[in-house]
Chain A
Amino acid sequence: MSLDISFIGILIGSIMASSVPLILAASGELITERSGVLNLGVEGMMIIGAISGFALMVITDNLFIAIVGSMLSGVIISLIFGFLTQSLLTNHVATGLALTIFSIGLSAMLGKNFVGIPGKEFPILFSSLRESIPFFGPILFGHSIVLYFAFALPFLTNYFLKKTKLGLVVRAVGDSPVSASNQGINVILVRYCCILYGGAMCGLAGAYLSLIYTPQWIENMTAGRGWIALALVVFATWSPIKVLIGALIFGGITILQLHMQAIGFRIPVQFLSALPYLMTIIVLVVISRDSRKIKLNTPTSLGRIFYKEK
């Protein structure tokens, strides 16, 4: 196998494609966590997005409806989590786990009649440029619109959190819900919005898998990507730009595995697959040792129940 320049271009392009679901889901979860809510239901919301996107595509034959529908279904399923944690004040960890377990089951039920149906080709943009420009062609062109959106999202998220008033509100709610509430901010409402936004992005991430990346429906097809996305948010120390970098690293590891298997490389693939999880633990240790660093990076009230006396 020759490692020529055009091959590397194609390789980078495929790494980008594999990192898209991670970027989308992690960017959504990042906003949720920044508002102080820990939603462990990422995997579940993604799988619901995957099945509803695919089912809508088969039923309506319209990819736009499928994509929007998958985001809506992510919103609906995250509404369960929002209602329980915000209105009924349930424990975030337990509720999120219940959401994932419930959603994986529900998706398999809903998807029963969609197994084995071939997917539809998703339109790609600038496909002629992809072929004509060596190296940069496969990197920059010939992707779906969702990929371009995903790569813009971390920058938009960063701008939102740092430069807009609403972003400040989200951060304030996550860091100090009591003071935010005293300032007249409706903490519960902000958290609801952030949870639903996270649901929409996870739904989209799922639809990317079932409509674009591997266009078909397979039970449990998210295959742990939701958990990796969750790890990614921590790995990125809750910073949107680092989410992008981390997603490319984690996505790169996935692609690398496939190629190493093909070449017959000696490192066991399982070791490579374990790397994202191990790297996340190492990052956690590094940022947690120093209590100042933790305060700088972690949304202070993450996972804590907020209750306003009426």
Chain B
Amino acid sequence: MALYFFTPFIAIILTILGGGIIFYILGFNPIEALKFYFITPISNLYGLSELLLKATPLCLIAIGLSFCFKSNNWNIGAEGQLTFGAIVGGGVALLFYNQEGFYILPLVILAGAIGGMIFALIPAILKTYFNTNEILVSLMLVYVSKLILDYLVVGPWSNPEGFNFPETRQFSDSSRMPLLFEGLRIHAGIFLALAAVMLSWFILYKTYLGFQIKVSGLSLKTAKYAGFKGKTMILVVFMISGACAGLAGVGEITGPIGQLHRMISPDYGFTAIIVAFLGRLNPFGIIFASLVVALTYLGAETAQIFLQIPKYTGQVFQGMILFFLLASDYLLFFKVKILSLKKNELRH
């Protein structure tokens, strides 16, 4: 069990080493490049705020995904649920574009969560009633949601005074997440993420639903034998997951962005899958993992500014983390095998 939570650290160390090797091959001083990547970005208050800003959506989505993954439901379309949540939430924000009022932001947030939830229900319903593969359906819907967003910001929702730029009006101040500190971009959305962490810990470890989810994840047959209503559970975990992704989307557009346009997420929905795995589907592990992965986004931006390395390098690090994590799981598998061998020997 200790090894189970220890291997993510091995993966992170191997990723940093691997990154150093890649930088060396590309002709950069690896120590210097790694310093720009992992230390410079968080060496001041602004950087720390940016780290939390990027970790917030990752943490929210990964918490939602942990419900799906724990129960063996492969929702990999969180990016689509994020986008659709942002569309619905953004639509409500645009309704109130010229109004102020304390009730507007809660409405926008609620709309975002519902949007994500509805979008996640599509693969869930198709899975439960038509037996379709949720991996493929949720993945396909990512592109559908991005095209819907594209259509809206180019067409009916585009800013009438916006010179045909593919973007909507700016939201009114009442639709914006309150900033936590003057001059920094970190906003109240972080409390949503923390609340999600607490709530998910409670549901997963203290309720009957959480018990059902875990049993179904370990063995579907056992779950059926125990008489759990599999269909309802599938719908519920997808709804939780979609709502979290929707919240992440609405947090982005009401936080740092302030309007709808094509690029509302640098693939947070996909990267959050890495976060969920790195955090071992554990609520507190996910907090840690979201900070680590957020740093790869931030480091990529810094390295682009100081060393002119394309910021896509962030994805190289993200991919490597997951590669090494999955690979190091083999150690666990191996250990289980050795243990079971020993047991057998004892019996003979």
Contacts and interface: CB of A to CB of B under 8 A. Distances in A.
A243 to B, nearest CB: 15
B161 to A, nearest CB: 22
B270 interface: yes
B319 interface: yes
A97 B76 contact: yes
A231 B144 contact: no
Given A103-B319, A109-B316, A89 B330 contact: yes
B312 interface: yes
Interface string A207-238: 00000000000010000100100110010000
Nearest to B328: A88
A219 B151 contact: no
A12 interface: no
Contact of A285 (B132, B267, B277, B329): B132
Contact of B270 (A101, A234, A273, A289): A101
Given A95-B326, A268-B155, A284-B133, A231 B316 contact: no
A270 interface: yes
A104 interface: yes
Given A108-B310, A109-B22, A270-B147, A277 B141 contact: yes
- Among A101, A234, A270, the most chain B Cβ lie within 10 Å of the Cβ of A101
Interface residues of B, number: 47
Given A288-B130, A291-B131, A105 B144 contact: no
Contact of B309 (A93, A109, A268): A109
Contacts of A271: 147, 151
Contact of B130 (A90, A270, A285): A285
Contacts of B139: 40, 227, 230
A207 B305 CA distance: 30
A93 B135 contact: yes
Classify the secondary structure of A's interface with B: helix
A137 to B, nearest CB: 35
Interface string B263-305: 0000100110110010000000000000000000000000000
28 contacts: A38-B135, A80-B323, A88-B326, A88-B327, A90-B326, A93-B135, A94-B277, A94-B322, A95-B323, A97-B322, A101-B267, A101-B315, A101-B322, A106-B319, A108-B312, A109-B26, A109-B313, A112-B310, A231-B140, A273-B143, A280-B136, A281-B141, A284-B126, A284-B136, A284-B137, A285-B126, A285-B132, A303-B135
Given A102-B318, A107-B312, 18 more contacts: A84-B323, A90-B330, A94-B277, A97-B322, A98-B323, A98-B326, A104-B315, A108-B310, A109-B309, A112-B309, A219-B312, A230-B139, A268-B155, A270-B151, A280-B140, A281-B140, A281-B141, A288-B132
Interface of A: 38, 40, 80, 84, 88-91, 93-95, 97-109, 112, 219, 224, 227, 230-231, 234, 268, 270-271, 273-274, 277-278, 280-281, 284-285, 288-289, 291, 294, 303
